[in-house]
Amino acid sequence: MRVFVTGASGFVGSAIVNDLLSAGHQVLGLVRSDKGAEQVKAAGADALLGDVDDLDVLKQGAEACDAVIHTAFNHDFSQYKANCEADRRVIEGMGEMLAGTGKPLVVTSGVGLLSYGRAVNEDDLPPSSDVIPRAASEEAAVAARAKGADTYIVRLPPSTHGKGDHGFVPMVINMDREKGESAYVGDGKNKWSAVHRTDAATLYRLIVEKKPEQKIFHAVAETGIPFRDIAQTIGQGLHLPVLSKSGDDVATHFGWFAHFAGLDCESSSEKTRATLGWEPKGPGLIEDVKEHYF
């Protein structure tokens, strides 16, 4: 199978490229720069240079391959809603290209869209994108499926971790280092689910290989880690005091990240494991942070 991967030089995308190649597949990776192209080629894949918002480039990649895995996303939170709507247009465009072809299109979302005071599962649906902008990606996938595209949704947890991570945990580490203390919100019992990037990559591959009836999957290895435990691990790594924050002090410490620091995002992947035979093998978040993040 030849698979078209967007964001192929990114943190998750590059792991997917490596996993696909290791399993004997061919890969065409979409990248934005010559440096990214060199990285993809060095891994053993073919590179397609272009912008994910260019539908002509996407059409070229999709037509040349048997499946599409879409991981590219602009994580500039200063224009978050605009980026989410851009992702909607990308998924809608690819959905139109792939409608009726039988080629699977796997898009990326997050379990953080679902916060219902319990462990959420693959059957749960997020609020509309009017409430949570990131839901635009799932809405686009559902709309594309209704028009004949074989779309799948992978929800990543708040921490998709591993060496080279530049996501939420490194952001918190940098905030704590700057403030001179490691913080959590309230009692710190709010939980983050997590997965190692290599395990997430395997899940994407299994979907395009098996093309199951189930359409929504949770790339969750650890159902929920109390944020206080994450804060304590960071405090130990940076040799900083670990403190609770409440009221205005939460925003003072975390700034725009305050919502995520207090997010309760416990999540199940029971149906995902049963359907795909997916068994995470990578290290847990706390172990990984201790070894690679300081």
Q: DSSP string covering 76-100, please? A: -GGGHHHHHHHHHHHHHHHHHHHTT
Domain assignment present for 246: no
Q: How many domains are there within the chain? A: 1
**Across residues 78-102, what is the average pLDDT?**
95
Domain assignment present for 74: yes
Domain span including residue 104: 2-161+194-221
- What is the value of pTM for the model shown? 0.96
Q: CATH number of the domain that 145 lies in?
A: 3.40.50.720
pLDDT class for 116, splitting at 50, 70, 90?
A: confident
Domain assignment present for 237: no
DSSP secondary structure of 163-191: TT--SHHHHHHHHHHHHTSEEEETTS--E
At 177-203, the pLDDT tens digits run: 999 999 999 999 999 999 999 999 999
Residue 91: other Cβ atoms inside 10 A: 26
pLDDT for res 224: 97
Domain assignment present for 274: no
Domain assignment present for 294: no
The amino acid sitting at 283 is P
pLDDT class for 78, splitting at 50, 70, 90?
A: confident
Domain assignment present for 181: no
Q: Which residues of 156-166 are buried (b: 16+ CB within 10 A; e: fewer)?
A: bbbbbbbeebe
pLDDT class for 136, splitting at 50, 70, 90?
A: very high
Domain assignment present for 275: no
Assess whether pLDDT exceeds 80 at residue 262: yes
pLDDT for res 257: 95
Domain assignment present for 189: no
The angle that helices 197-210 and 11-22 make with each other, rounded to 10 degrees, is: 60
At 217-244, the pLDDT tens digits run: 999 999 999 999 999 999 999 999 999 9
Helix (H) or strand (E) holding 152: strand 150-156
